[in-house]
A and B are shown apart, each in its own frame.
Chain A
Amino acid sequence: NAGVTQTPKFQVLKTGQSMTLQCAQDMNHEYMSWYRQDPGMGLRLIHYSVGAGITDQGEVPNGYNVSRSTTEDFPLRLLSAAPSQTSVYFCASRPTGTGIYGYTFGSGTRLTVV
């Protein structure tokens, strides 16, 4: 049981490049989320999903796309990277039902856009 796995751990992009941050979980969790973590801002929700085929926007969705074709995977796509997207990105998941179990987090992807 690996939990929530994020790849890559580190990435440097040039402005305008696109890339996909991968997130996979092996706990059969229906709920998954993407957050970005910036100094002094805490964690802000980018997109979330409540099951395969169902996604929705969070607080800061601009510049990012998501899809959820399987329960296990929830990739985050940067369409045209900008320096403002330099951040640490975390993926998280939880089972359905009440939220008492909290979310399990991945180890993060540290992205730098130059």
Chain B
Amino acid sequence: AQRVTQPEKLLSVFKGAPVELKCNYSYSGSPELFWYVQYSRQRLQLLLRHISRESIKGFTADLNKGETSFHLKKPFAQEEDSAMYYCALLNQAGTALIFGKGTTLSVSS
């Protein structure tokens, strides 16, 4: 079965604290994974793709096939990082994304 699990509905941190948003997946073969961010009532924006191994807005995510995880990390949270974050997996056929239920990140000063 293809599935994405984000175990935390809400993650609250203080400004400057490290952040880790968890994502686990279930997939046969080599997955294509993404992190999307949605600021208040706006469209989803692509934040990271695992294949490009990039760092965007200070966020990174590493694919761990042994643990079937793709956690999103940032060493020092900023208030402007407050948003909903979705982990997504391209389905086996490559025809659509499978989303986790999302984690709301709240960064306060």
Contact = CB atoms under 8 A, between A and B. Distances in A.
Interface string B46-77: 10010110000000000000000000000000
Contacts of B51: 100
A92 interface: yes
A31 B93 CA distance: 12
Q: How large is the interface on B (under 10, 10 to 19, 20 to 34, 35 or more residues)?
A: 20 to 34
A35 B20 CA distance: 26
B29 interface: no
A56 B9 contact: no
A40 B101 contact: yes
Contacts of A56: 95
A108 B101 CA distance: 18
Given A90-B44, A105-B43, A107-B42, A33 B52 contact: no
A93 to B, nearest CB: 11
A58 B100 contact: no
Interface residues of A, number: 26
Contacts, number: 59
B100 A102 contact: no
Contacts of B100: 42
Contact of A107 (B43, B95, B98): B43
A95 B96 CA distance: 12
B97 interface: yes
Interface string A74-114: 00000000000000001010000011111111111000000
B90 interface: yes
Contact of A99 (B42, B43, B90, B99): B90
Nearest to A42: B101
A45 interface: yes
Nearest to B6: A42
B49 A58 contact: no
Contacts of B98: 45
Given A100-B49, A100-B52, A102-B49, A33 B96 contact: yes
Given A41-B101, A42-B86, A56-B95, 9 more contacts: A33-B95, A42-B6, A42-B102, A44-B99, A45-B97, A48-B96, A100-B32, A102-B46, A105-B44
